[in-house]
Structure 1
Amino acid sequence: MSARRALLTGASGFVGAALTRRLLADGWEVHLLLREGSSSAGLPPEGERLHLHRHNGDTLQLIDIMRAAAPEAVFHLASLFLATHKPEDVTRLIQSNLLFSTQLAEAMAACGVRHLVNTGTSWEHYEDEAYNPVCLYAATKQAFSALLRYYVEVHGLRVVTLKLFDTYGAGDPRPKVLNLLKRVALEGSSLGMSPGEQLMDLVYIDDAVQAFITAYERLADGRQQNAMEEYGVSSGNALPLRELAALYAQVSGKPLAIAWGGRPYREREVMVPWSTYQALPGWQPTTDLATGLALFHNAAS
């Protein structure tokens, strides 16, 4: 029996790289779609079941790549994330999150590829609203969902969008709050932070990857009730940043010198995560926060 075939975008990112490794471990043939110039460091080497394709920005070239890959499903994780943007960032945000994403859907339609696991963000729901983007990045995610409706209605795509909360895990190189805490713990340095009352909702990387697998299975098994579905990928156990830091200190065995209130909250800080999401059927996180923090802290930097 031939291996299932996937085309995956965003493999140079932390979550995308982890999903790549999981698909390979599960026996998939994986085709990675990378921008010209994107690093492939940290990815497994190309081989019989792993193929790298470089996209030059052209829609017709992307159609050729899609035709060559002939995937059963597309996992779309590529995006440009900016918590805040400057005027000079607008073009990059639109190109990465709207133009490229629409080219991807166009290529799927042209090649008869129907199953898409798309990636959104809980930041599309500031103050728990049906739609209120925290930032322009979040707005581009919602804008692509609106564009996807055309491909669903006209070309028969079937889509599950996973709206991620914060993800973390061993080997995470991203400049996020846990890496700040890890540096303080290892170096004994001090850190000025906001007052720390915002709730943090962290999902361990293995659980986040399983959500993508579960979403694909929902598409493949025909369990989807609607052609476009979206689900929140949440730990279900948000806690204040201050408590997260205290737990990290306990897990690491290192005191953390944090000056709470040493810097203000950023504009449109998410104080309470989105709570009115629909849970992905058949999925729930299995790695508790203390275990996940220990795995994160003990991993090589």
Structure 2
Amino acid sequence: MSAAARRALVTGASGFVGAALTRRLLADGWEVHLLLREGSSTAGLPPQGERLRLHRHDGSINQLIDIMRAAAPEAVFHLASLFLATHKPEDVERLINSNLLFSTQLAEAMAACGVRNLVNTGTSWEHYQNADYNPVCLYAATKQAFGALLRYYVEVHGLRVVTLKLFDTYGAGDTRPKVLNLLKRIALEGTSLAMSPGGQLVDLVYIDDVVEAFLMAYAQLADGTQQTPMEEYGVSSGAPLPLRELAALYAQVSGRPLDIDWGGRPYREREVMVPWHGCRGVPGWRPQVGLAQGLALFHQA
């Protein structure tokens, strides 16, 4: 099948990584169907057209099956999730609805419509202290739980799944309230910031490399080189560095001093001091954008 004829269904396109993947798929000639919740923003996405179609999900399984049937995708890229580093009791229902209920509805719709190829998104936070499974937080636990549910759809309905467990992602145009945007703000505004002692290792992968990992994961499904029907890989830079060194490199790249009060606040509960390591990467994938280059692109955007 030619690239121009390929169809993808993407969830989570309103997020930073999902939007970048959508733009890349369109650039590569795909027809892209976006599945968004009612009210999700489309800012940062190209306008709808012949090769980009938007579907709003009302929360029901029957409507989702109708959308899946209409889209008839060759592959589903599932990036939608609710991320909370820590949760409150009132957040439990939202986490379950977003990360388990909706995700399972998606797999059920694929099974009902004969769609087999799924590139799923997990998190390195499922592996606190480098354990086979030890969730940093409830968000990470819901990611692992959906992986367990997927086993049913693989065994009974023939889905073929590659799960990419992401580390920290960043890139030009990233406005998420993450540590790099804190550094960028104090660099541009000349303000000060209280931070943890800064000894935790940070594993950053530039957005272009992250998107390439998704496409290479799909290629495994498409060409049949996947070793088992259900594979998982880490998307890691392979070169994590302490937060203090990251801040120093950002100051060097931006040409601006950073006024940081190291130790001005404690490490958070279950801080990831050393990221999951020893994970398998997508076969043939290696990050191409070095950290200094990526930080420059991020700062200049």
Same fold flag (TM > 0.5):
yes
Q: Which residue is 1:125 aligned to?
A: 127
Which of 28, 31, 42 is the aligned partner of 2:30?
A: 28
Cα deviation for residue 41 of structure 1 reads 1.3
- Give the Cα–Cα distance (whole angstroms) in 1 for the partners of residues 160 and 92 of structure 2: 29
* 1:126 partner amino acid: Y
Unmatched tracts of structure 1, length 5 or more: none
- Give the Cα–Cα distance (whole angstroms) in 1 for the partners of residues 227 and 209 of structure 2: 23
Q: Which residue is 2:20 aligned to?
A: 18
- Give the Cα–Cα distance (whole angstroms) in 2 for the partners of residues 291 and 19 of structure 1: 20
- Identity across the alignment (%): 83
Q: Which residue is 2:48 aligned to?
A: 46
Q: Which residue is 2:192 aligned to?
A: 190
- Give the Cα–Cα distance (whole angstroms) in 2 for the partners of residues 196 and 22 of structure 1: 35
* 2:178 partner amino acid: K
Which of structure 1's runs of 4+ aligned residues deviate more than 3 A?
Answer: none
User: Quick check: 1:247 aligned with 2:249?
Assistant: yes
- Give the Cα–Cα distance (whole angstroms) in 2 for the partners of residues 181 and 225 of structure 1: 42
Which of 245, 267, 270 is the aligned partner of 2:269?
A: 267
Could you say what secondary structure the match of 1:292 adopts? helix
* 2:53 partner amino acid: H
* 1:93 partner amino acid: L
How many residue pairs are counted as aligned between the two chains?
A: 299
- Give the Cα–Cα distance (whole angstroms) in 2 for the partners of residues 184 and 42 of structure 1: 25
TM-score, structure 1 normalization: 0.99
- Give the Cα–Cα distance (whole angstroms) in 2 for the partners of residues 251 and 173 of structure 1: 19
Give the 5 Å matches for 1:64-143. Answer: 64-143=66-145
Which of 155, 158, 161 is the aligned partner of 2:160?
A: 158
- Give the Cα–Cα distance (whole angstroms) in 1 for the partners of residues 29 and 211 of structure 2: 15
TM-score, structure 2 normalization: 0.99
Unmatched tracts of structure 2, length 5 or more: none
Q: Which residue is 1:223 aligned to?
A: 225
Cα deviation for residue 276 of structure 1 reads 2.3
Name the Cα RMSD after superposition: 0.5
Could you say what secondary structure the match of 1:232 adopts? strand
Once the two structures are superposed, residues 184-210 of structure 1 have per-residue CA deviations (whole angstroms, 9 ceiling, x without a partner) of 100000000000000000000000000
- Give the Cα–Cα distance (whole angstroms) in 2 for the partners of residues 56 and 173 of structure 1: 27
- Give the Cα–Cα distance (whole angstroms) in 2 for the partners of residues 259 and 23 of structure 1: 42
- Give the Cα–Cα distance (whole angstroms) in 2 for the partners of residues 277 and 103 of structure 1: 29
Q: Which residue is 1:63 aligned to?
A: 65
